[in-house]
Structure 1
Amino acid sequence: MACGGNSCFYGFGLSLLILGFVIDVIGVASPYWILGEAGGEKAYVGLWQICSSGSIDTHSVTECIDVAEVPDWLKAVRGFGILGIILLLIAVLGAFFRICLKERAWVLVLAIVLSFMAAICIVISVSVFGEKFHEIVKDSSIFTFHFAFVFCILSTIITGIAGIFLIVEVAKRSSYTSINGR
């Protein structure tokens, strides 16, 4: 046993949950889901803002504006993205409470369920956005997915792996205790 009475599976799972949460927050919040480049001009599209950058003479200019008219599918992408963040936050807090409540296995089980629910919400968010990609950009030859989109995908993978590590922790503990901790 390591990690204060918990196995290293718990430590890895908690660390990956925190990493998945941070990466998902960065991914959902940043305006870099799509990048378009043409003739020295760049355009970045995110869930909340659209940014453009270029150069006038020798000065670099960047301007961001909020998305004015939000279509229903983008509202769904935003909603599932935020729901994924909230569920991940609660999963991280639940996993932290496991340190204090060693005798309560249900806290860790709750963190596992919430981590997988968060991963599903993030997958829905990314899938809907990816499906609508060609509607957003008419000329897909100059537009590509950018790092924030990839961060959300990575967050899903990391969160799923964290859930698996936490499942192993519960399985190891349940071999010598019941789900009630007795």
Structure 2
Amino acid sequence: MGFGEASLFAKIGFVLLIIAFILQLLGIALPYWYSVDKDSYDAYGGLFRGCFEIASSNKKTCDRMKNVADYWAATQAFELIGFFLVVGALILSIIVLFIKSDMKILKLICWILCFCACGFIIVGIIIYGAEAEGIYAEFSGAFAITIIAGIISLAAGVLWLLDWMGKAM
């Protein structure tokens, strides 16, 4: 049993998981969850790092986020848990596609992990979106990338669910 014998749903779900993995990794790592461009300063940052640049001095300062608000810590936690769930689903899909495609329990766990990943990613986004204020409410590219990663992991979960149910395509 190998990749060639796997269903089309499983193959597309695998590709979507790779895309979700890359996008979630970028969403967590890039410092562009918020971005503000004012006349006197520019500020941008991600979940773990923030940068501030004063226009008159042309000096940029970047630092790790320390002593963050509770909603920020919750967002970090939910996004990281979502990332690790995507990694788990991706590893499991590799096992299903290339090693043990006849075990339905692995397919079941894979689609459950995909749905859980989507849930954690979207809840993290909702927490951040609902609580952010001031310059942190100016959403930017990495925030959007993370939303897309959550949606793609949901789509992958649906495809793995269809594969687990034995729907042919």
- Tell me whether 1:21 sits opposite 2:31 in the alignment: no
Determine helix, strand or coil for the equivalent of 1:19: helix
Distance in 2, matches of 1:167 and 1:34, equals 35
Alignment partner for residue 154 of structure 1, among 144, 148, 156? 148
- Residue equivalent to 2:160: 166
Counterpart contact for 2:42–2:55, Cα < 8 Å: no
Determine helix, strand or coil for the equivalent of 1:4: helix
- Residue equivalent to 1:83: 81
Alignment RMSD: 2.1
Determine helix, strand or coil for the equivalent of 1:52: strand
**TM-score calculated relative to the size of structure 2:** 0.89
- Residue equivalent to 1:47: 47
- Residue equivalent to 2:36: 36
Distance in 2, matches of 1:98 and 1:122, equals 24
**TM-score calculated relative to the size of structure 1:** 0.83
Given the superposition, is the C-alpha separation of residues 10 and 40 from structure 1 closer, same or farther in structure 2, using an over 3 Å criterion?
farther
Amino acid at match of 2:157: G
Larger Rg over CA atoms: 1
Residue 3 of structure 1: CA displacement?
A: 4.1
Determine helix, strand or coil for the equivalent of 2:4: coil
- Residue equivalent to 1:180: none
Distance in 2, matches of 1:27 and 1:172, equals 33
- Residue equivalent to 1:179: none
Q: Give the paired residue count.
A: 166
Distance in 2, matches of 1:102 and 1:3, equals 9
Amino acid at match of 1:167: L
More helix by share: 2
Distance in 2, matches of 1:11 and 1:54, equals 49
Amino acid at match of 2:164: V
Q: Identify unmatched segments of 5+ residues in structure 1.
A: 176-182
Does 38-47 or 72-81 show the bigger shift? Answer: 38-47
- Residue equivalent to 1:145: 139
Distance in 1, matches of 2:74 and 2:139, equals 19
